[in-house]
Amino acid sequence: MCGIYGAIVSNQDAGSVVYHGLKRLEYRGYDSWGVVVTRAGDFFIEKQVGKIDKNHQLSAPPAQVAIGHTRWATHGRVTQVNAHPHLAQNGSFALVQNGVVENYQQLQEKLVSQGYDFISQTDTEVIVALIEQLETRKHETEPSVATVRQVFSQLRGRNTIALVTQSGKIIAIRQGSPLVVGKNKQGDIFISSDVLSLAPDANEYFILDHGQGVIVTCKKIQPFVVKTGKKISLEYQPIKISSTALDTAGFDHFMLKEIYEQTEVLNNVTEQPQKQLTALVTEIKKANRVYTLGAGSASFAAEQLAFWLREQGVLTTALKSYEARSYQNLFSSNDLCIAISQSGETADTNEVVEWLLQFGVKLASIVNMPGSTLTALSDLPFMLQVGPEVGVASTKALSGQMIWSKLLSELIAGKTLLAYQKQVQEYSKQLQNWFESQVIGQLQSLAKELANHKHLFVLGRGQLYMPALEFALKMKEISYIHAEGFSGGELKHGVIALIEQGTPVVCLVAKDKEKNDMLSAAAEVKARGARVIGVSIENNQLFDDWIRLPKASELVAISCFIPAQLLTYYMAVEQAYDPDKPRNLAKSVTVK
């Protein structure tokens, strides 16, 4: 998952526009970055390892045409040589890629046997070499669209590419990772990996579909079909995202801003079209099998939705996107799948969706990012509406996914949308009070103590089992602590061997049927020296620390991982990690 940004502008510096566009795309990958500017037939390329410094001044001269890339390394180490853009050895074009050329080794071997001398370790350079080879064979001075199309047809996998030629033409093709084209009232033209990043530059946009490309020259945009070269026209949509969504609004990090936004945005989640909700509930009730699907934190939301549907008597199977292959032959046209994804571009999830659609499975989805692939593929698409989530950690998005999932189970139980909306409004008020209480200071102190631990365990049962796994994931991905979530019932089946004097064990406890068994688990780890951190609505003498939750016990499965969001945020800051851009991660995993 990388970020691509390009610009052809008249009264501003294209290099600087692209550089700042990449800064807004950095959530997609931040190992290294690069910008290429073309002016009077010359290229000026600057590439650096590391994150984008918003105060950096590019060395390139002012120009009207530029493309750039922010990288999450797939093939080839994080080095300047491997950073994109990659310049053709004959100097006629420079290219960036978002995706993976799955057959790059065969292509690379053939090119080497023909005498091509690779400079980088990337799969992307294979594309550059193939275009340059065909361009030379056709005696072109720079690659034509036909040449780029011909080479693109040899690539396997999900590849989105953009190249700029010496004459200042941009050619881009989408197959997999998203690519949008925007323009403003001054006639400036932009390409980007998402709509959100276009907001400060463009007024309207269109999204390229898989197998579509675009040629952009000064003042002219021409979309085409890659396979045939046929020119097409695509409908522009207004950009409705305010660019203010792209700043931290006074918070130190996007992650903290987005954690606090949960007190307001969760109410937006319940603002769903009643007709569409009714249609989905009908499909759930009549389906032969119901599947839920997601990756990472979204997979925990998918499991929670399956749990809540099973409680309403709906036999539901939760699929982790990356472990769904064994179910493939079970899919049938009488089935329903509910896919959960913040970005709507997760390759693992969208690949399973493609299988499901081949078997005629009806697809519903809940997505946060407007204009995503998953939304476009869905029979019953829903929008999460929690606003852009820039921090890599899924915080308000996951809470929103859980709120939406709970809505479905409430509707199946016969509750009304209005009743549930009132419940969420009350929860939001309680959450606001919680954020203003002493619990924040308590979490900050606890974070300082836990930051030095190497291991941390989280126990939960029933409705709190998935939240326990999510609690642990947050610790892993933001504070880099080895945290594991377990079912409270699993403790005595092996896990308890790990408990030593002072081991921190978080126990998620609800006032439900699992409560007594969970407290027994707390007693058992305490008897072996653990530090028991109780996360619950009411205190208990077994707890060495008690993190009080908002009183809304019917939504405790949603409130109980919010302490994890804050705890891991403070632990990261304590260790001078960047909570918005954790090492090795990116916000949208658009490669498998």
CB of 66 to ligand AGP, least distance (A): 28
Q: 3-state secondary structure string, 25-74?
A: CHHHCCCEEEEEEEECCEEEEEEEECCCCCCCCCCCCCCCEEEEEEECCC
Q: 64, 133, 304, 394: which one contacts ligand AGP (CB under 6 A)?
A: 394
First-to-final CA distance of the chain = 9
Structure tokens at 217: 């020259």
Q: Which residues of 530-559 are buried (b: 16+ CB within 10 A; e: fewer)?
A: bbbbbbbbeebebbebbbbbbebeebbbbb
C-alpha separations of 227 from 118, 144, 146, 149, 174 in Å: 28, 15, 10, 7, 12
Annotated active-site residue in 2, 337, 507, 560? 2
582 touches ligand AGP (CB under 6 A): no
- Only one of the segments 161-169, 276-284, 388-396, 499-507 lies at the binding site for ligand AGP (rule: CB under 6 A); that segment is 388-396
Q: How far apart are CA 490 and CA 506, in angstroms?
A: 14
CB of 287 to ligand AGP, least distance (A): 22
Q: How far apart are CA 389 and CA 81, in angstroms?
A: 31
| H or E element that contains 502 | none
What are the helix (H) ranges across 235-372?
254-260, 262-269, 274-286, 297-311, 347-358
Q: What is the DSSP string of 65-119?
A: EEEEEEE--SSS-S-TTTSSPEE-TTSSEEEEEEE--TTHHHHHHHHHHTT----
Determine whether 218 is an active site residue: no
Q: How far apart are CA 110 and CA 115, in angstroms?
A: 9
CB of 517 to ligand AGP, least distance (A): 28
349 touches ligand AGP (CB under 6 A): yes
Determine whether 2 is an active site residue: yes
- Only one of the segments 244-252, 293-301, 355-363, 494-502 lies at the binding site for ligand AGP (rule: CB under 6 A); that segment is 293-301
Stretch 525-554 residues interacting with ligand AGP (CB under 6 A): none
CB of 341 to ligand AGP, least distance (A): 3
Residue closest to ligand AGP when measured from CB atoms:
296
Q: How far apart are CA 173 and CA 155, in angstroms?
A: 12
Cβ proximity to ligand AGP: between 144 and 559 the closer is: 559
8 touches ligand AGP (CB under 6 A): no
- Only one of the segments 61-69, 323-331, 391-399, 415-423 lies at the binding site for ligand AGP (rule: CB under 6 A); that segment is 391-399
202 touches ligand AGP (CB under 6 A): no
Please name the residue that has the structure tokens 């390759």.
347
Q: How far apart are CA 362 and CA 379, in angstroms?
A: 6
399 touches ligand AGP (CB under 6 A): no
591 touches ligand AGP (CB under 6 A): no
390 touches ligand AGP (CB under 6 A): no
CB of 239 to ligand AGP, least distance (A): 21
Q: Which residues, in sequence order, are bridge partners of residue 93?
A: 165
Mask 327-346, x = binds ligand AGP (CB under 6 A)?
--------------xxx--x
393 touches ligand AGP (CB under 6 A): yes
292 touches ligand AGP (CB under 6 A): no
Q: What is the DSSP string of 279-297?
A: HHHHHHHH-SSEEEEESTH
477 touches ligand AGP (CB under 6 A): yes
Cβ proximity to ligand AGP: between 214 and 255 the closer is: 255
Q: 144, 166, 263, 297: which one contacts ligand AGP (CB under 6 A)?
A: 297
Q: Is residue 392 a contact partner of residue 586, using CB atoms and an 8 Å limit?
A: yes
Peptide bond into 85 cis (omega under 30): yes
Count of residues that interact with ligand AGP, criterion CB under 6 A: 15
Cβ proximity to ligand AGP: between 86 and 320 the closer is: 320
CB of 141 to ligand AGP, least distance (A): 42
Annotated active-site residue in 23, 47, 169, 587? 587
CB of 103 to ligand AGP, least distance (A): 25
Cβ proximity to ligand AGP: between 295 and 356 the closer is: 295
Distance from the Cα of residue 68 to its chain's centroid: 20
Structure tokens at 207: 């999204």
CB of 474 to ligand AGP, least distance (A): 7
Q: What is the DSSP string of 198-255?
A: GTTT-SEEEEPPTTEEEEEETTEEEEEETTT--B-----EE----GGGGS-TTSSSHH
Structure tokens at 335: 């089935």
468 touches ligand AGP (CB under 6 A): no
Mask 120-149, x = binds ligand AGP (CB under 6 A)?
------------------------------
Q: Which amino acids are annotated catalytic? A: 2, 587
Q: Which residues bind ligand AGP (CB under 6 A)?
A: 295-298, 341-343, 346, 349, 392-394, 477, 588-589
